[in-house]
Amino acid sequence: MVTVRAPATSANLGSGFDVFGAALSRPADVVTVERAAETTIEVTGVGAQYIPEDPEKNTVGAVVEALDAPARIHIDKGVRPASGLGSSAASAAGAAVALNRLYDRGLSREELVPIAAEGEAVVSGVAHADNVAPSILGGFTVTTAEGTHSVDAAVPLVVCLPDVAVSTRDARRVVPETASIEDLVETVGNAATLAVGMCRSDPDLVGLGMTDPVVTPERARLITGYDDVRERAFDAGATGVTVSGAGPAVIAACRERDRRDVAAGMIDAFAGAGIEARAYQTRIGRGSTVLDD
């Protein structure tokens, strides 16, 4: 039996659509696997009632297939589904790390990234790896067709999750198909600024680099109260605010001393829009961790 804790993640970080990701220190899924002749999946925890246990429909089913590793699998969800916090990815990442160990497949963490990403294709239609990469490797990650680069970064974050669901599949439908050269230049500049900020653990540069003129404005329209939440976070000292993944969670970078106020401001702004929300005062954290084997 192998048990793995796989963290929530925030993808895109504004300027890095389908490329950037960050592991969050909390929340997390816990995935336990045991060898079995046939694969079965049991799901408990946050939002378990919305998650299919059929291996054809659960993200971990695709990982079992790719590793040819049938198992009895238990997923204890800490990451709410349809959150923008890489819920579907956390289970797939945890399963990839756990099954690789259970069956001694000998794959490196980097090699497990595209395998876990197959699970994302099951739910969103696209095998985007920007959530599974940080959930497996930890830190801030840059994932392209060539592979993943990761750096450890110490950046305080607040992630505010409203009590509404946005599916990644739906939110990918509003992504513009083209962008102007001006928007491209701005996005490249912001993405590079954010990457430098991560390498220096500098919340000012990270926040500055979160601005994105192409995808985020379209996604923000799907989140009631987004503009007020963003404004209140900045008023409380946030250095940057954007949609987390496909939403509805909203992520803010800040200094440690401002984290509580940023969290309170964001919750309050959602409440003003009539929406209950909870905030995780978090930071960039480690990747999947083997708890037991």
Ligand X SMILES: N[C@@H](CCOP(=O)(O)O)C(=O)O
Ligand Y SMILES: Nc1ncnc2c1ncn2[C@@H]1O[C@H](COP(=O)(O)OP(=O)(O)O)[C@@H](O)[C@H]1O
Per annotation, catalytic residue among 3, 59, 118, 120: 120
| Residue 246 in the binding site for ligand X (CB under 6 A) | yes
| Residue 27 in the binding site for ligand Y (CB under 6 A) | no
Nearest CA to 11 among 175, 183, 146? 175
Tell me the residue number closest to ligand X, measured at CB: 245
Stretch of 9-17, 137-145, 189-197, 221-229 lying at the interface with ligand X (CB under 6 A)? 9-17
Number of residues that this document lists for the chain: 293
* 277: alpha, beta or left? (left if phi > 0; alpha if psi -120 to 50): beta
| Residue 51 in the binding site for ligand Y (CB under 6 A) | yes
Nearer to ligand Y, 125 or 272 (CB): 125
27 labelled binding-site residue: no
The DSSP bridge partners found for residue 250 are 160, 243
| Residue 285 in the binding site for ligand Y (CB under 6 A) | no
Site for ligand Y in 211-250 (CB under 6 A): 245-246
Judge whether 168 counts as a catalytic residue.
yes
Rounded CA gap, 180 and 263, in Å? 34
83 labelled binding-site residue: yes
Structure tokens at 18: 């389908």
Rounded CA gap, 82 and 145, in Å? 25
Nearer to ligand X, 70 or 119 (CB): 119
φ and ψ at residue 21, rounded to 5 degrees? -155, 160
Q: How far is CA 73 from the centre of its chain?
A: 22
Judge whether 177 counts as a catalytic residue.
no
φ and ψ at residue 118, rounded to 5 degrees? -60, -30
Site for ligand Y in 166-185 (CB under 6 A): 167-168
Rounded CA gap, 29 and 117, in Å? 16
State in angstroms the smallest separation of the CB of 104 from ligand X.
Answer: 30
State in angstroms the smallest separation of the CB of 285 from ligand X.
Answer: 16
Q: Which of 33, 51, 67, 85 binds ligand X (CB under 6 A)?
A: 85
Rounded CA gap, 219 and 235, in Å? 22
Are 135 and 23 spatial neighbours (Cβ–Cβ below 8 Å)?
A: yes
Per annotation, catalytic residue among 9, 168, 193, 282: 168
**In the chain, where do the E strands start and end?**
2-11, 20-35, 40-45, 71-77, 140-144, 147-151, 156-162, 240-243, 250-253, 277-283, 289-292
Stretch of 81-89, 105-113, 133-141, 201-209 lying at the interface with ligand X (CB under 6 A)? 81-89
State in angstroms the smallest separation of the CB of 129 from ligand X.
Answer: 9
- Interacting residues with ligand Y (CB under 6 A): 50-52, 58-60, 75, 81-89, 91, 123-124, 167-168, 245-246
Just list the catalytic residues: 120, 168
- Interacting residues with ligand X (CB under 6 A): 11-12, 17-18, 84-86, 128, 130-131, 168, 171-172, 245-246
Q: Which residues are annotated as a binding site for ATP?
A: 80-90
Q: Which residues are annotated as a binding site?
A: 80-90
